[in-house]
Amino acid sequence: MKRKRKKRVLGLMSYMIALIIVGSGLLMYRNYTQQVTIARQEARYQKLSKEMKHLTLDEYLARDLDVKQIEKMQKKINMEKDKVVQSKYKVLQDKLSLINTKLVLQEAVNNLFKTPALNGLTLIEEEVKDNITVSDIDKIDLSVLPESVFKTTLKQLKSEAKTKIEVVSEDNTDATEDDVAYN
């Protein structure tokens, strides 16, 4: 009897040890797969983030950036949505949204001039289009942008356009007054 009991206890202990070994092995495997998944998600985020950096130069937009490039990047981000941590996906979306907003505002300011005044890091002093009014300039709302060198540059371009329009208006008013006084 004692032998049977001893064998039974040894059998149960062997069984318990085997369960512990198998259980800890499964836990280690699960932890390993989680680490691999996190590493892959981080690598995808870094890849997308690096690609997105090509759309900007410091705080400015890349030279000759257009909506198609932003849409192409948006498609890449959307394809990777389930393969990137949700919080980092949101960061990518926010960055791309800011880039899109910057592009829209840059194009609006550039449309005040005969040729684009800002392209990438290149700032060109240009003449204002003939049909632009001060109210057209005031319609461009830069308050949606965070404070940055880019925003300051756009503000300066708006201010420059206003000044040029006012100078032209004053010249036209003076010329009209001269014509009236001459006649």
- Tokens 């201010």, located at residue: 159
Beta carbons within 10 angstroms of residue 140's beta carbon? 17
pLDDT, tens digit (0-9, with 9 covering 90-100), for 16-63? 888 888 888 888 888 878 887 888 888 899 999 999 999 998 889 999
Question: Does residue 58 form part of some domain?
Answer: yes
Question: Does residue 34 form part of some domain?
Answer: no
pLDDT of residue 37: 81
Question: Does residue 129 form part of some domain?
Answer: yes
Question: Does residue 31 form part of some domain?
Answer: no
pLDDT, tens digit (0-9, with 9 covering 90-100), for 79-89? 988 888 888 99
pLDDT of residue 166: 83
pLDDT, tens digit (0-9, with 9 covering 90-100), for 87-132? 899 999 999 999 999 999 999 999 999 989 999 888 888 888 888 8
Given a contact cutoff of 8 angstroms between Cβ atoms, the answer to whether 84 and 45 are in contact is yes
| Domain with 48 in it | 41-182
pLDDT of residue 5: 78
Given a contact cutoff of 8 angstroms between Cβ atoms, the answer to whether 146 and 110 are in contact is no
pLDDT of residue 173: 57
Question: Does residue 132 form part of some domain?
Answer: yes
Sequence-ordered alpha helix ranges (H) in the chain: 2-53, 67-79, 86-110, 134-138, 149-182
- pLDDT > 90? residue 157: yes
Instruction: Please tell me the pTM assigned to this model.
Output: 0.76
pLDDT class for 176, splitting at 50, 70, 90? low
- Higher per-residue confidence, 148 vs 33: 148
Question: By C-alpha distance, which of 60, 90, 92 is closest to 76?
Answer: 92
Question: Does residue 5 form part of some domain?
Answer: no
pLDDT of residue 28: 84
Question: Does residue 4 form part of some domain?
Answer: no
Question: Does residue 162 form part of some domain?
Answer: yes
The count of domains in the chain is 1
pLDDT of residue 170: 67
Chain centroid to CA 45: how far? 13
